[in-house]
Amino acid sequence: MTAESKVLGDHPLKPMPVAVVVGASSGIGAALAEKFANEGYKVALLARRVEKLEEICSQINQPGEEPRAFLYQHDVTDVESIPALFQELLQDLHTIDVFVYNSGLMYTVGMSEYSFEKDRSTVEVNLLGGMAWLGQAAILFERMGSGHLVGVSSVAGDRGRVANPPYHAAKAGMSAYLESLRNRLSRQGVHVLTVKPGYVTTELLGDAKTPFPPSSPESVADAIYKAVRRRKQVLYTPWWWRLILLIVQHIPSFIFRRMSF
């Protein structure tokens, strides 16, 4: 939090901005929640694992100060509960300025494995939950004529590789959904950011070997925060992933089919 906002607190003429992060218990989400809190935001953290959220909140909320981090236990596959929970968030926080959907999971899928259970679950967490949440936030931001919608997609959404069909499909869906929202909402003054990280050292990645060096969740969170401030549309992070994907996107299918990558 900057010294300035510390002096002024939450003033009607300069209200503390509010960020909501869905999927905030670890990795990029947790780093992002801390980043926003450090920049003087009020943050709401949502995830299944309450203990992890409590840990992050206790780091942000300093004794003697008014709490600025609030946690909500939530499973994004429980889509029925989302509209009511969104209203609860809005009532508790009084307004929302930045809404981030970050929840994601990635199974290890064998080369000749076709598990519908894994497919469904991947799509539910990476895509459907995102649609349910971002749709709610879109209504709010459209009415307000302002706001930042952030969806954490992935470079994996740019092409479908051999490795993990459901993950590529879900992330491609997410990227397209976000682009549609952007095309709808930018004329209403709403900023929509698609985040496409490369490899990040998170629970998702585990200790898998990566062909490119992974980046830390903190550096991704910093990049997202900056992109929000600058109203960037699509963020590849680190930046050189844009070049890699430019090449990957142009690999013709007759070659791509034959690659083990």
Partner 1 sequence: MAGNLLPTERLFRLENFGHSIEKPVYLYRPTHLEQVAELFEQAGKNGTRIGLRGAGRSYGDAALAGGGVVLDFQRMNRILEWNPDTGVITVEPGVTIEDLWRHILEDGWWSPVMPGTMFPTIGGCLGANIHGKNNWKKGTLGEHVLSFTALLPNGETKVCTPTRNKKLFYSMISGMGLLGVFTSITLQMKKIYSGNLEVKAWAEPDLKKMLEATNQNRDEDYIVGWVDTTARGWGLGRGQMHSARYLEEGEDPYPMLSLNPATQDLPDTIMGLVPKSMVWRILKLGMNNLGAWGGNTAKYLLNRTLGNHKTYLQSLVAFTFLLDYVPNWERAYGRGGLIQYQSFVPRNTAYDVYHEILQLSQNRSLPSYLGVMKRHREDQFLFSHAVDGYSLALDFKVPPRKRETLIRLTQDLNQIVLSGGGRFYFAKDSTLTPEVVRAYLGEKTLQAFRTLKAEVDPQEILQTDLYRRCFRK
Positions that interact with partner 1 (CB under 8 A): 4, 7-15, 81, 83-84, 87-88, 90-96, 139-140, 143-145
Phi, psi (rounded to 5 degrees) for 127: -120, -55
- Partners of residue 155 on adjacent β-strands: none
C-beta of 11: minimal distance to partner 1 in Å? 5
Q: Kindly tell me which of 11 and 231 has the beta carbon lying closer to partner 1.
A: 11
Q: Kind and range of the H or E element at 71?
A: strand 69-73
Among candidates 79, 159, 170, which has minimal Cα distance to 122?
170
C-beta of 94: minimal distance to partner 1 in Å? 3
C-beta of 151: minimal distance to partner 1 in Å? 20
Q: Kindly tell me which of 110 and 189 has the beta carbon lying closer to partner 1.
A: 189
Q: Kindly tell me which of 136 and 154 has the beta carbon lying closer to partner 1.
A: 136
Q: Are strands 42-47 and 18-22 parallel, antiparallel or unpaired?
A: parallel
C-beta of 89: minimal distance to partner 1 in Å? 8
Residue 56 structure tokens: 């992050």
The DSSP secondary structure of 107-167, one letter per residue, reads ----TT---HHHHHHHHIIIIIHHHHHHHHHHHHHHHHT--EEEEE--GGGSS--SS-HHH
The DSSP secondary structure of 7-18, one letter per residue, reads HH-SBTTBPPPE
C-beta of 81: minimal distance to partner 1 in Å? 7
Q: Kindly tell me which of 13 and 111 has the beta carbon lying closer to partner 1.
A: 13
Assign residue 145 a region (left: φ > 0; alpha: ψ between -120 and 50; beta: otherwise). left
